[in-house]
């Protein structure tokens, strides 16, 4: 397999064909599925990570970190929306999650990903807030502000993430 992967290929189909040809000496009786992926590492200047204490007063600091980073990346057009997303995600992590809490912003191509991680493994879910309820609208708001959002479980808890599509300058 090393030799099949050592030669450069322009597409993954060619790589799959090489691996299967190298590894299979006879035609199998059943179907075979081979999944490969090409990944790319992000530069460190495309990722900003902030470790946050689990205290309600930290939400304002998380928004400030966000504003500063978006200014550095020249993404000030997204500041208002991203601050709202960060506020909701960090507040939910403080309210329903477990410390430590981590905020991560990722700028890659035309996408801004916002991630908030904590050590709780409870998946957040949308609630239907009644008219006079003070809470329960955070994920609904996130669903309206972001193009996509979801939860990724990790060995140490979970990460709630959002993606915003950036318009090219």
Residue 89, CA atoms < 13 Å, CB-side half-sphere: 34
Predicted pLDDT of residue 66:
98
Predicted pLDDT of residue 27:
72
3-state secondary structure at position 48: strand
Domains and CATH numbers, the chain: 1-39 (no CATH), 44-165 (3.30.565.10)
Predicted pLDDT of residue 17:
79
Distance CA 149, CA 25 (A): 45
pTM: 0.75
Structure tokens that stand for 165 in this block: 């599509």
Residue 19 vs residues 70, 96, 101, 169: alpha-carbon distances, Å: 43, 47, 42, 42
Structure tokens that stand for 76 in this block: 């000030």
Predicted pLDDT of residue 135:
59
Nearest alpha-carbon partner for 141 in 97, 94, 83 = 83
Structure tokens that stand for 50 in this block: 């902030």
Give the mean pLDDT per block of 10 residues along the chain (169 residues).
69 80 74 76 92 94 98 96 96 93 96 97 70 64 91 94 88
């Amino acid at each position: 397999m090393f030799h099949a992967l050592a030669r450069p290929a322009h597409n993954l189909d060619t790589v799959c064909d090489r691996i299967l040809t190298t590894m299979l000496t006879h035609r199998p009786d059943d179907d075979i599925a081979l999944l490969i992926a090409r990944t790319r590492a992000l530069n460190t200047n495309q990722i900003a990570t902030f470790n946050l204490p689990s205290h309600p007063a930290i939400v304002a600091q998380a928004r400030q970190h966000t504003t500063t980073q978006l200014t550095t990346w020249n993404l000030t057009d997204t500041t208002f929306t991203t601050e709202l997303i960060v506020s909701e995600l960090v507040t939910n992590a403080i309210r329903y999650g477990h410390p430590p809490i981590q905020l991560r912003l990722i700028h890659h191509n035309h996408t801004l990903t916002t991630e908030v991680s904590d050590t709780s493994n409870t998946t957040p879910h949308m609630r239907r807030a009644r008219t006079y309820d003070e809470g329960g609208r955070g994920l609904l708001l996130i669903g309206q502000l972001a193009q996509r959002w979801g939860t990724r479980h990790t060995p140490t808890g979970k990460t709630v993430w959002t993606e915003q599509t950036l318009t090219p300058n």
